[in-house]
Amino acid sequence: MSWLATPETDEDLIAARNFIAVDNESAARDFLDAAFEAFDRLAQFPEMGLPARFRHRDLKGVRFFVLAPPFNRWLVFYRPAGQDIEIKRVLYGNVNWRQEPERFF
């Protein structure tokens, strides 16, 4: 399996990288490395993440995975799509994605 990223995922990664780089450029690069490693792992083992359990039927099958420390406040949302997985978003864990999924998906 391989992974595909949505345009929103690209925007999330750029925004997160820029946010982290304000304080630490090296950590920003490490964040991107951690995200891409997670994408590769999820493509190999798509059942690793937990079901997000949204009520909206368009979001059925979306799962999430927590990035490895020190970036374990970031969540990768994805959905298996045939022989691939679709990376839908990479969000900071403090956003209210459960209560307001329409804002993010």
Domain chopping of the chain, boundaries: 2-103
pLDDT cut 90: percent of the chain above it? 74
CATH class of the 2-103 domain in this structure: alpha beta
pLDDT along the chain (105 residues), means of 10: 95 97 97 98 94 84 95 96 93 84 79
- Distance (Å, rounded) from C-alpha 4 to C-alpha 83? 11
Pairwise CA distance, residues 11 & 26, whole Å: 20
Closest-CA residue to 56 (of 100, 15, 12, 6): 100
